[in-house]
Structure 1
């Protein structure tokens, strides 16, 4: 994994990229971030990048940079992102249909009912849930405005999803169905793009963080 500073509408929320090495040795970059020379060299040392994934309609900002750095990799993104980012040459749609290269190694699940159109991944070998904007987990924040925003939303210091952002769920019934499937996975760790990785009681923490949908 690799983190980077990132701002969104004035909020200092950071962002995180997850790197998965498949059994073949091929690497998958999930939610690409800005690539410094050092980070690019670290990734290259790990293996050959075969896939770059933009998992939802918002985590695509650094996709072009990743494609330029690893031109042989296939670029994946939701169907609606293909239309949003016509400047990017997507190779395939990122959905619940897994690519043959990672079938059985990374299990996909699309969160229905949401404007984010995010597809989550579960890595059974490490019992890890890989997500971006499923929940957030800020236990510390030095930026006063962001800290105030998190406290106002009641999610500072605990796993959750800000009340303002809950508006992206237009169909909560369908979202609940997706959450029910998600919680069938026995994950012990949950990677999120914003805040800290959830390493303790991750399954319970994510369940509680999504309780507002029910």
Structure 2
């Protein structure tokens, strides 16, 4: 049976998103999104955060052989087994906090938070990674220089999730609030409160701030096509301001 909810889109050359409805606690529209990048060697790197339905798999297979399956943080592990079963030769990499919660039959080829900080996994010529050891969900941010795109899971939200709910009867708006934007006071408070190691957060927030990106592809909410760097600076102002 075909899937009627997934929005498959080429955001820019060699970067594809797979966006679907997802409600946090079954109530709050957050949206879900996987992102696939075709690398310079022809292989595919994918942040796997939505189900691998037939339409998604067909597009990924069209892009090329999957070489990397990525879990982006502690709670984005639900579909890793599904992807690994479909692409058994791909390297599976995730933060330690995700490994602890994931399907116990999975064998990981790399683990952020356990491996040495300078460990290279093989995709670094195309995609840079920054592991946020001081963020509560132990997220990893990714940077694709060729498209000036940053990809992340829970570090930054851009709600409502209009695209992710575009094939449903819902607007994707948050009940009683409508939106949660990176520049909002509330997002700034959330970003500040999600840090449990201030020194590590300041270091890693600055690392991402130094990347030369304009676009942000979040797992939750609409893609920020331009002005992504400013959105990051706004959301993490508390860690960037001298204090």
Q: Under a length normalisation based on structure 2, what TM-score does the superposition of the two structures give?
A: 0.77
Counterpart position of 1:9: 25
Counterparts of 1:32-47 in structure 2 under 5 Å?
32-47=49-64
Alignment equivalent of 1:109, drawn from 127, 130, 136: 130
How far is 1:43 from its partner? Answer: 0.9
Counterpart position of 1:92: 110
How many Å separate the matches in 2 of 1:35 and 1:28? 14
* Structure 1 spans left out of the alignment, 5+ residues: none
Partners of 2:159 and 2:181 within 8 A in 1: yes
Counterparts of 1:149-168 in structure 2 under 5 Å?
150=177, 156=179, 158-159=181-182, 161=187, 163=189, 166-168=192-194
Partners of 1:98 and 1:107 within 8 A in 2: no
Counterpart position of 1:48: 65
Q: Under a length normalisation based on structure 1, what TM-score does the superposition of the two structures give?
A: 0.86
Of stretches 100-109 and 38-47 in structure 1, the one that deviates more from structure 2 is: 100-109
How many Å separate the matches in 1 of 2:55 and 2:205? 37
Aligned length: 209
Deviations 1:69-119 (A, max 9, x none): 212211111123222223422222146546453122111111231121111
Partners of 1:135 and 1:210 within 8 A in 2: no
Tell me the C-alpha RMSD between the 2 structures: 2.4
Q: Does 1:146 align with 2:167?
A: no
How far is 1:174 from its partner? Answer: 2.3
Change (3 A) 1:165 1:58: farther
Alignment equivalent of 1:135, drawn from 119, 131, 156: 156
* Structure 2 spans left out of the alignment, 5+ residues: 1-16, 163-169
Of stretches 134-143 and 109-118 in structure 1, the one that deviates more from structure 2 is: 134-143
Counterpart position of 1:188: 214
How far is 1:139 from its partner? Answer: 4.2
Change (3 A) 1:171 1:199: same
